[in-house]
Amino acid sequence: MALDEDLQSRQMAVYGRESMMKLSGAKVLVSGLNGLGAETAKNVILANVKSVCLQDDKKVVIGDLGANFYLSEKDVGKNRAEACKTQFQELNPSVEVTVNTSPLTPDLVKGFDVVVVCDSSLELACKVNDACRANTPPAHFIYGSVNGVFGSMFCDFGSDFVCVDTTGESAKTCIVEKIEKSAPGKQAVVQCVQDVEIDFDDGEFIVFSEVKGMTQLNDGVPRKIHDVMKGKKQFKIDDTSAYGDYISGGIGNQKKMPLNLKFRTLAECLKDAGQMTDTDTSKQSAKARAWDESVLEYFGKPEFEKKFGRSGLLLLAFRAIDSVGHEVACGEGGVEKVIAKAKELNEQLGDQKVEELDEERLKTIAAYAGGAGAVLNPLAAIFGGIMGQEVVKSCTGKFHPTFQWYHFDCEECLPDSLPKAPHPKGSRYDAQVQVFGKDIQEKLAKLNLFLVGSGALGCEFLKNFALMGCCTADSSKITVTDDDVIEKSNLSRQFLFRNHNIGQPKSDAASKVACTMNPALKVKSMTERVQPSSENIFDDDFWDGLDIVINALDNIKARLYVDSKCVLHTKPLLESGTLGPKCNTQSVIPHVTENYGATKDPPEKEAPQCALHNFPHNIDHCLGLAKSEFVGNYETVPTDANEFTKGPQKFVDGLLAASESPVAILDRLIGDPKFNCAMPGGLLDALVKERPSNFDQCIGWARRKYESYFVDRIKLLVHNCPEDMKTSSGAPFWSPPKRFPKVVPFDDKDEMAMKFIIAASNLRAKMFNISEEHRDPEYFRKVLKDVKIPEFTPFTTKVETGEEEQAEGEGAEKKEAAPALEEDDVKMKAAVTEIGAESEKHKEFKYFVNEFEKDQDDNFHIDFIQAFANLRARNYAIEEVDFLQAKLKAGRIIPAIATATAMATGLVCLEMLKVVGGKKGEAFRNTFCNLALPLYSQSEPAAADKVTSGSRFDPEMYMDVDEVAVPDPQTVWDTMVIPCSRNITVQGLVDWFNAEKQLTLEGWMFTGSDKKADSSPLSSRLGMKVTEYVEARGFPCANKKRLEIGDSPPTARVLELKTADGDDVKICRVVLQFTD
């Protein structure tokens, strides 16, 4: 069955086409439709397998509604699988969803590729596991269980499982500068170019190509890498003594080698668990945390986690609860029975037994017992994500599977006094009340939450909030906002949406579905973006009325803004994000942790312009130029044309006022000969020289563009930088990473060349509102026969290399002089006159601005970019890219899958329970997970940095500064409030600081909404009201209860203060309080 690449594009960015095809043939059995089973089934169905059978012989009870999102009160008494089958089928119509209501037996596994068991005893699970092994072919087996805030999972993929890609990361590459000829039997050093980072690790394999001289390395055989030195950009390979002498060149591409794994059965792993990994090392035994001598011999060995780690303890508790039964474990006297059974089982393990069953660890077993049988939504979401990912791994061999146990807990979010049995029954929240008690449930009901974003993360959050009973009291609500609308590509992971929702606001559609999951849920959906311009909507009263803010955003700028509002209003912020199989969460707790903006990711590296325009050495460079040319031709030019038509001189004056240089303005008017070659450019091209009146003329333009891009530009570059050119030091100019180019003559039989012509022609026609659209190559071939191509004669010019020296054309006796400003002015006036005269004839014409849209495959956008990039790649002998990869890269599509999203939101909801429960700072956790490896890591959030008086290193100024902190100490959470100050003047500010803080206000640099800073002397503003001044800078104050006026650098609003002794002051945030 063909894949719907538009629908599955985000998943394909993670798994690849081959793995997605394997998934589309997989048959999966999910047994047990409790909350864990429902979450797992959801993620597997969204992964687009062939079929899913939902097996369950149990009836719906009211408590199931707290974790299974597809059950409602009307389903109580029905079979669990049958009750939610229809909605699972609607989730992905291309997956066949069936139901089996008979009891789980070993015979049921026949015919399935993967069997997932979610609600079964260990005894039965072992029998099913054995039956999976006996299958022909064997079925892979996954077992999971959640009990309160504890969960466990086990995988058995057979005795000979092949993992074809352990990480899922893009294959690494390098550009070779030199390869040593080693002595016999010795290793050879491979030196890579200094311009490009290398990311290889010892033990990985590499395949060479394009090596000159030592051509034996081009045999396609993977070679093992040794002794990687990333700083020196070098590594070693085995013996090269029998090879020819290295001359030049060489590309190295990582070869991912398959990994064979031999799994053991569940029964075997109950006797000897094997290797386990702890998520949170702070929960290991006291001796392990103290690095006691008695545990040192076990570090790095499987025995460590079993004896002293968290995993061994959780597995022991899990087995004890399973042995006594859930009902007994959580009932009266159940804790004592579970502890006794745990001690008995532990002794049976012999040298594998858990050490240090002290009071601390027995308390953990007791907490585990108290949650026995309670399937909580957050844990179901976490393990549903993990188990769903394991299903994908088992079907595809993509990513390293869990080998074989994984255990997780969040004991730190439990109340100090655990609820006592017997536990109340009869509510959808029975499980939560059993674990946390009635008080926490009532607090959840009364919450006022702000959910920013309702895409993939937002959908999962709304589902979780509904199941947990958040915001169900009359005085509470969830406010959810998202300015985006639903697109087809969203449906593969934003599980609240269906085909009929396409085009609707995300927040509206998601809120409606969430309310069907829990009719008591109170939701207010909005479509406004949270940003400075919407502060009249999300005003001070709004922020003050919130209990917790949850971000479900996909961009840094919006996250930083929400973070700043949470800091200003001292509100807890729960952050999360995903990238393919990776997810992370961060808890931002007022006056306890650092805020989100306290740490910054390094800026994204961008390719130098010289690489894009003249010296590309990878397909990303080619795609970058392709995207730039698309924007230039179909967005910038029509936008400029519309503005120019309104008033030619006004257009130029506006650019000058925006600090555009005359050279840049000329480029927009007539283009740059170095890039346009024989064609006109800019507005001269669009409005005068190449203005089309019919579709055939657009074809002619596209053909001439082809010649300009892929023939003439290369001729010009080679003319100025011939193949034998030397640098000033005598080295070959065309040395790696530079690749010497060749022209690609037009051939109407070449599919990629015709793709470029078809896309460029249709986009050009659209710009000029020519209603025709053509896709048949034969139509274009007929027109192309009569298209005239202008002659181009290369000329001598300077070529930007990005290096200290600039390449100059052969025969050039001196550097070109920069055109005089007067000459530029004359050229501008002449261009404006010529273009203006023609545009006057069409002054009522509106040019279509074709904004780039990555998710509409038939709009020619990606066609143009893919074709351009691949033809450019041919110029430089670079590997080409298919349509999907062009779409992913040019569209900067963020890889996304439902499994990581579900896990992230489950983790955040556990942090929310800590906030509601009033937990202290050490209880909170930040999490990073990579489901591909798999890697799960938790740690306490960093405390907010404290600033004290004295000398300190300022990372923004990158120097030591000596200043007085007011207050001392201070963190980002501190605020200095100036009360009753709506009418205060700037002079009033000066007086207040002097009288109340004995400080002198010497300056106030205020950045306006236009991003321009006002650093005029303070004396020029003394008589102005602060609110009037701020409004004049573009920030309305009418609806505000308070106004943030500044703090110390680096910020957009800087207060320059000094002490009486003349010392610089590090001031905290200063806020004007308008209300009494």
What is the spatial distance between Cα 620 and Cα 409, in angstroms, rounded to a whole number? 42
Q: Of residues 610, 622, 677, 980, which has the active-site annotation?
A: 610
Task: Count Cα neighbours of 722 within 13 Å in the Cβ-side half-sphere.
Answer: 9
- Reduced to 3 states, what is the DSSP secondary structure of residue 346? helix
CA–chain centroid gap for 942, Å, is 22
31 bridge partner residues: 55, 117
Q: At what angle do helices 861-875 and 751-767 cross, to 10 degrees?
A: 140
The position carrying tokens 């004995």 is 998
What is the spatial distance between Cα 1070 and Cα 329, in angstroms, rounded to a whole number? 55
Instruction: Fill in the amino acid letter for 780.
Output: F
Helix (H) or strand (E) holding 388: helix 377-396
What is the spatial distance between Cα 270 and Cα 345, in angstroms, rounded to a whole number? 11
- Yes or no: say if 614 and 856 are a contact pair by the CB < 8 Å rule: no
- Yes or no: say if 356 and 363 are a contact pair by the CB < 8 Å rule: no
- Yes or no: say if 156 and 265 are a contact pair by the CB < 8 Å rule: yes
224 bridge partner residues: 205
- Yes or no: say if 339 and 367 are a contact pair by the CB < 8 Å rule: no
What is the spatial distance between Cα 1013 and Cα 940, in angstroms, rounded to a whole number? 38
- Yes or no: say if 56 and 81 are a contact pair by the CB < 8 Å rule: yes
Tokens of 908: 């955040």
Task: Give residues with Cβ within 8 angstroms of 637, minimum separation 6.
Answer: 682, 683, 685, 686, 767, 847
1014 bridge partner residues: 1006
The position carrying tokens 């399935």 is 112
**What is the chain's alpha carbon radius of gyration, rounded to the nearest angstrom?**
33
User: Cis omega before residue 275 (within 30°)?
Assistant: no
Longest dimension (CA), the chain: 97
Among this protein's residues, is 155 annotated catalytic?
A: no
CA–chain centroid gap for 755, Å, is 32
Name the H helices within 686-820.
Answer: 695-707, 713-720, 751-767, 777-784
- Reduced to 3 states, what is the DSSP secondary structure of residue 462? helix
What is the spatial distance between Cα 531 and Cα 354, in angstroms, rounded to a whole number? 53
State in Å, rounded, how far the first CA of the chain is from the last one. Answer: 68
Instruction: Fill in the amino acid letter for 511.
Output: S
**Residues with active-site annotation:** 610
